[in-house]
Amino acid sequence: MREQDDPDAGMKHFTRALTIDSEHVGALNNRGLVLMSRGQLDAAREHFARALEISPGYQDTRLNLERVNRLEDTSQQIAGKSRSEHGDK
């Protein structure tokens, strides 16, 4: 079974890889993807940013960081719209 089919198993593999090599950009990126899929956007962003510190040219991670930032922006816009519709400030 592939990690994308079982995110929990994938997370265990990526965590193990990072205990062996804390600068494994693939594991950082993939943990970020799992965290993003769970809605843990801040943690995902931290993983993507760390991977880019290590390997600034890693395009997949750069794209994933952009995705998580867009998701965060969208979430904030929805929350703001919901508050204004309910008269909250």
Average pLDDT over residues 81-87: 67
Instruction: At 52, give phi and psi (nearest 5°).
Output: -70, -30
- 3-85: CATH number: 1.25.40.10
SS3 58: coil
Q: What is the pLDDT of residues 8-50, one digit of tens each?
A: 899 999 999 999 999 999 999 999 999 999 999 999 999 999 9
Which pLDDT score, from 0 to 100, does residue 5 have? 74
The per-residue pLDDT for 1 is 37
Q: Is this structure's pTM higher than 0.85?
A: no
Dist CA 68 CA 23 (whole Å): 21
What residue spans define the domains of the chain? Answer: 3-85
Task: Indicate if the pLDDT at residue 82 is higher than 70.
Answer: no
